[in-house]
Amino acid sequence: MAAKKSATTAKTSKTGAKRKPTKAAPPVRVPKTPTPPDRIPNVVANATTSDHLAIITRAVMQAGLSWAFIDARWDSYVGAFDGFDVATVAAYGDMDVDRLMHTDGIIHSKSKIDGTIKNARVLIELEREFGSIAAYQASFADYDAARKDAKKRFAFMGDLNTYYWRFRTRASVPDLEDWMKTQERDHPRMREMVRAAGGPASSR
């Protein structure tokens, strides 16, 4: 018994401190009403820079609101933001912001409108620097580095929005269940989206 204990002690000292237990994912939430399959946000192959802007903006606008709420108004957003043409939105000025603040069918959040204009400009800068947004997305060693850089460069791009954007544009992201272990609460609409697409790009 003593020999076994000694061996165990040696093994512990050799490997160092015990690893902290892996954090468990938050309890799975099941939405009362599933999203109709044709309304689940899809993955966009070969996304243009304007596609990236539209996807990022949708993530930003959904923050704090239900996805269904924004989905019901999305056509109004597309019209209000000139189809999310990245060059057009990047050139918006005060008059455009005022127009958007009085446009029916969209949320009148000046901070999110200003953020969308900033994000359009950032996307153009990234395209110039890296040659494409896909090249920028692929330039990181791991998702954590990508997440931190997106938060620094873009407006309203936290972890949830970054995962959403990268997933929808076929950039690599962690397995959903592994990523969920880093979240404070479950995200059932993200589960629907990932399930409908067959999983993250990194595992496809």
Query: Is residue 114 assigned to a domain?
Result: yes
Question: CATH number for the domain including 195?
Answer: 1.10.340.30
Per-residue pLDDT of the chain (204 residues; tens, 9 = 90+): 444 444 444 444 333 444 344 578 888 888 778 899 999 999 999 999 999 999 999 999 998 898 999 999 999 999 999 999 999 999 999 999 999 999 999 999 999 999 999 999 999 999 999 999 999 999 999 999 999 999 999 999 999 999 999 999 999 999 999 999 999 999 999 999 999 999 876 543
**Exposed (0-12), middle (13-18) or buried (19+): which is 188, by Cβ within 10 Å?**
middle
Cα 65 to Cα 69: distance, rounded to the nearest angstrom:
7
Whether residue 4 lies inside any domain: the answer is no
Domain assignment present for 37: no
Number of domains forming the structure of the chain: 1
Structure token digits, residue 119: 């994000």
Supply the range of the domain harboring residue 116. 46-203
Q: At what angle do helices 110-130 and 94-101 cross, to 10 degrees?
A: 130
Residue 27 covered by a domain = no
Measure the CA–CA gap between 92 and 60, rounded to whole angstroms. Answer: 18
Q: Contact at 8 Å (CB) between 57 and 165? A: no
Do the domain assignments include residue 56?
yes
Assess if residue 1 is contained within a domain. no
Q: Report if residue 28 sits inside a domain.
A: no
Model pTM?
0.85
